[in-house]
Amino acid sequence: MTRNAMCSMFNIEIPVFGFSHCRNVVAEITRAGGLGCLGTAYYTPEELEWELKWIDEQVGDKPYGVNLLLPQKYETVGEASLDPARLSQEHVKWQRDLLEKAGIPELPASEREELMNAELGRLHMTPEFAGELLDVALRHPSVKLVVSALGSPPRPILDRLHAHGIMVGAMTGKVEHALKHKEAGLDLVIAQGTEAAGHTGVVSSMVLWPEVVDAVAPMPVLAAGGIGRGRQMAAAFALGAQGIWCGSIWHGTRESDLTDEMKQLLFKAKSGDAVQTRSKTGKPGRMLRSKYTEAWLQPDAPKPLPMPWQSVLNVEARLRIDRARALEYMTCPVGQIVGTINQESSVRQVIYDILDEFADTMEGLGERSGLV
Amino acid sequence: MTRNAMCSMFNIEIPVFGFSHCRNVVAEITRAGGLGCLGTAYYTPEELEWELKWIDEQVGDKPYGVNLLLPQKYETVGEASLDPARLSQEHVKWQRDLLEKAGIPELPASEREELMNAELGRLHMTPEFAGELLDVALRHPSVKLVVSALGSPPRPILDRLHAHGIMVGAMTGKVEHALKHKEAGLDLVIAQGTEAAGHTGVVSSMVLWPEVVDAVAPMPVLAAGGIGRGRQMAAAFALGAQGIWCGSIWHGTRESDLTDEMKQLLFKAKSGDAVQTRSKTGKPGRMLRSKYTEAWLQPDAPKPLPMPWQSVLNVEARLRIDRARALEYMTCPVGQIVGTINQESSVRQVIYDILDEFADTMEGLGERSGLV
């Protein structure tokens, strides 16, 4: 039997790729024979260095990856000064009234500025900053994959990564974008259906995966969006993908650094509770439905601000809601697969369960169809 | 090898079910060894009798089905008088201005009332009317499946259908509804992901199919939403379904009674052009994006009316647009699979292509995964 193409590319045992902001999850996926990928969106270069050093110690020379925001253009993200004073006062007041009616206290006056600045600093993105994060990643030889979450990386960056023996991929929710990644010379694309967490396109996985596979062939495709169990892994291969890319299913693991309250909310949630909302970033993104996301849909609500200003506005709400543990208002990015996340597990158990059901599915497939 | 469960249930050769408002498509699917299902939403009892008689002559004693609107409650659909004079004048004026600016002529004064009444009559739905359609269906022994598009049929109707040896199914976009269908004693459910045409739920096929399969087991499930090729049929079996239910992919066949202009629009369309819009019925439904659907999203547009009034409003627009062949305004229900409908085909060719790619996919599956 020939080896799976992704396993050959990265010298891993199973074509299971996982995305997380939490280093424990990333390390454990790699240790289990897959390839964990750390989201770096909110780390400073110093913090990232610390995280990668920790992961190195866990995984040894097993490969892992990093997700970097490497936009071709910085107009929408490179606001040098994300000063909340520049926010629309109508929006600030509406949000304050919402939180006050909900009984969610203001941040303590003595801590507010520090808390806000720490969060706002994480939203900051310039070419120099992205470059610094990249430099950090390049100092860790076990980093074998860099995924760009905002389009094909610029050519000089791509070449630099290749020179270091690092594979480069990009997320895509639209077949036209996938073609651009292929033309740009990337090594793989991650086709992410609309049912996934965070910013996605509008096309569903069932439709998107095969059309991306065909468009970029022979470039390999990882399937993302709606994957939580072995049946979906079998479906991914049926639709032409070479491996799977999972995000939401790690949320319920003990390695995940989500709070216990957040995990409980996810355990209770159903598929339809992972809704598209503009309330966090201004762009539609899939998150757990909460009273906060619902408030933005009411007739009296203002229209969410454009990027990056909605994120700036959202910072204070998120800090207040999390601090107050206001369960009905808490939210996080999550995909529709949340319906299958019902109890605490571990990264290793999630992976075993996927592989186990995958094997069963493949075995029974011919028989159930009764055709082959 | 055991026979496929759907093939056993209906004594058909292939577990391919197809939905269409066009009798030619329905008959051809059944003649090709699957089971075609006629949408009856806009037929009078006399018209339905005519259609079923025609299908009988085509298929002989091979089985086919009908989709009936059999609502448990008639509050929203049972308006005895769908009089356009009762429409909001703001909406009527806004739509008239839109069409006038687009240069789309009014209906000829001499024909307008007749054209409008013919269409409005088709929107009419009462328990008596639904009962008459059912009586017609029961007079045709080759009808072996009745699918309810509006929830579980009332118990007396279910029993009557079973007494005639007819299987009963229902569409579902939500696992909670699927459970109700199981409790109601139906024979199968059609789990339809959000990417499908028309009124759907919000959960995608990749997530919905396996959760419905598990919830209603051992009741069999047909997979719908995003199916257009053999890879998706393989994915449907991987996710636990017993067969496939297709709608949009018949639109590009020569048997389909869509106009040539409409077919050309569908051939050009991409996956992302099948959009959710309230503009036709007031409820979100997936249709081909057009200047008409887009107009309803502009800041100056009124909010679509609730059911059934938006349908009443839409009648005149649709008649004018189709009569004028205003290509940029034309639309029809279609799912995201529209991206794969690129040239004219035939029902038989579509089915052969699906089975062909399905066989190839099943053959290469173990090898591509490199795991089993």
**Residue B21 DSSP code:** S
With respect to residue B239, please indicate whether it lies within any of the assigned structural domains.
Answer: yes
Contacts of residue B288, Cβ cutoff 8 Å, sequence gap at least 6: B265, B266, B269, B273, B274, B275, B330, B331, B332, B334, B338
B4: three-class secondary structure by DSSP: coil
Same domain, B188 and B300: no
pLDDT for the residue A75: 47
Query: Is B72's pLDDT higher than 90?
Result: no
Q: In the listed set B230, B252, B274, which residue is the last one of a domain according to the structure?
A: B252
Q: Do B204 and A227 touch (CB under 8 A)?
A: no
pLDDT in tens, A94-104: 999 999 999 99
**Could you say which of B226, B361, B366 has the minimum Cβ distance to residue A207?**
B226
Average pLDDT over residues B212-238: 97
Same domain, A187 and A316: no
Query: Is B140's pLDDT higher than 90?
Result: yes
Residue of chain A nearest B14, judged by CA positions: A371
Same domain, A158 and A231: yes
Residue B11 sits in a domain of what CATH number?
3.20.20.70
Query: Is A347's pLDDT higher than 70?
Result: yes
Same domain, A227 and A307: no
Distances (CA, A) of A370 to A237, B66, B219, B355: 20, 25, 17, 12
**Run of H or E including B249:** none
A145: three-class secondary structure by DSSP: strand
| Chain A from 343 to 372: CB within 8 A of any B CB | 355, 358-359, 361-363, 365-372
With respect to residue B261, please indicate whether it lies within any of the assigned structural domains.
Answer: no
**Could you say which of A5, A204, A239 has the minimum Cβ distance to residue B195?**
A204
- pLDDT interval class at A81 (50, 70, 90): confident
pLDDT for the residue A154: 85
Same domain, B50 and B102: no
pLDDT in tens, A102-133: 999 999 999 999 999 888 887 767 778 888 99
Q: Å from B315 to nearest chain A CA?
A: 28
With respect to residue A372, please indicate whether it lies within any of the assigned structural domains.
Answer: no
Contact criterion met (CB below 8 Å) for B193 and A206:
yes
Same domain, A156 and A13: yes
Q: How many CB atoms lie within 10 A of CB A279?
A: 24
For residue A371, count CB atoms less than 10 angstroms from its CB and return exposed for 0-12, middle for 13-18, buried for 19 or more. buried
Burial letters for B48-81: b for 16+ Cβ neighbours within 10 Å, e otherwise? bbebbeebbebbeebbbbbbbbbbeeeeebbbee
pTM: 0.95
Interface probe for A, chosen from B8, B9, B369, B372 (most Cβ of A below 10 Å), is B369
Residues in chain B with CB shorter than 8 Å from the CB of A275 are 202
Closest CA to A296 of A283, A313, A281, A277: A277
pLDDT for the residue B224: 98
With respect to residue B365, please indicate whether it lies within any of the assigned structural domains.
Answer: no
Same domain, B233 and B171: yes
As a whole-number percent, the residues of chain A with pLDDT over 90 amount to 83
Q: Tell me the DSSP string of A25-73.
A: HHHHHHHTTSEEEEE-TT--HHHHHHHHHHHHHHHTTS-EEEEE---S-
pLDDT in tens, A189-234: 999 999 999 999 999 999 999 999 999 999 999 999 999 999 999 9
Distance of CA A277 to the CA centre of its chain: 16
With respect to residue A257, please indicate whether it lies within any of the assigned structural domains.
Answer: no
Same domain, A165 and A202: yes
Query: Is B115's pLDDT higher than 50?
Result: yes
Same domain, B106 and B222: no
Q: In the listed set A201, A228, A252, which residue is the last one of a domain according to the structure?
A: A252
| Chain B from 230 to 289: CB within 8 A of any A CB | 231-232, 234-235, 237-240, 242, 270-272, 275
> The tokens 């598929």 sit on which residue?
A271
Distances (CA, A) of A320 to A19, A324, B82, B365: 27, 6, 50, 50
Same domain, B206 and B139: yes
Average pLDDT over residues A61-86: 75
SS3 labels along B144-179: EEEEECCCCCCHHHHHHHHHCCCEEEEEECCHHHHH
Q: Does A206 touch chain B (CB under 8 A)?
A: yes
Contacts of residue B57, Cβ cutoff 8 Å, sequence gap at least 6: none
With respect to residue B268, please indicate whether it lies within any of the assigned structural domains.
Answer: no
- Give the C-alpha separation, B174 to B183, whole Å: 15
Q: For all residues of chain B together, what is the average pLDDT?
A: 93
Same domain, A118 and A129: no
With respect to residue A30, please indicate whether it lies within any of the assigned structural domains.
Answer: yes
Same domain, B164 and B223: yes
Q: Do B203 and A239 touch (CB under 8 A)?
A: no
**Residue A2 DSSP code:** P
Interface probe for A, chosen from B9, B177, B371, B372 (most Cβ of A below 10 Å), is B371
Average pLDDT over residues B357-363: 94
Residues in chain A with CB shorter than 8 Å from the CB of B177 are none
Model ipTM? 0.94
**Could you say which of A337, A363, A372 has the minimum Cβ distance to residue B207?**
A337
Beta partners for residue A285, in sequence order: A277
Strands B35-39 and B16-20: parallel
> The tokens 């996982």 sit on which residue?
A18
Number of domains in chain B: 2
Domain that holds residue B201: 5-75+124-252
Beta partners for residue A333, in sequence order: A287
Interface probe for A, chosen from B4, B206, B237, B303 (most Cβ of A below 10 Å), is B206
Closest CA to B223 of B31, B70, B18: B18
Q: Do A208 and B174 touch (CB under 8 A)?
A: no
With respect to residue B342, please indicate whether it lies within any of the assigned structural domains.
Answer: no
Average pLDDT over residues A161-167: 97
Residue of chain B nearest A225, judged by CA positions: B206
Q: Tell me the DSSP string of A287-332.
A: EE--HHHHHTTSTTSPPPPPTTHHHHHHHHHHHHHHHHT-GGG---
Contact criterion met (CB below 8 Å) for B236 and B371:
no
Residues in chain B with CB shorter than 8 Å from the CB of A15 are 369-371
- Give the C-alpha separation, B71 to B302, whole Å: 29
Q: Do A365 and B362 touch (CB under 8 A)?
A: yes
Residue of chain A nearest B174, judged by CA positions: A272
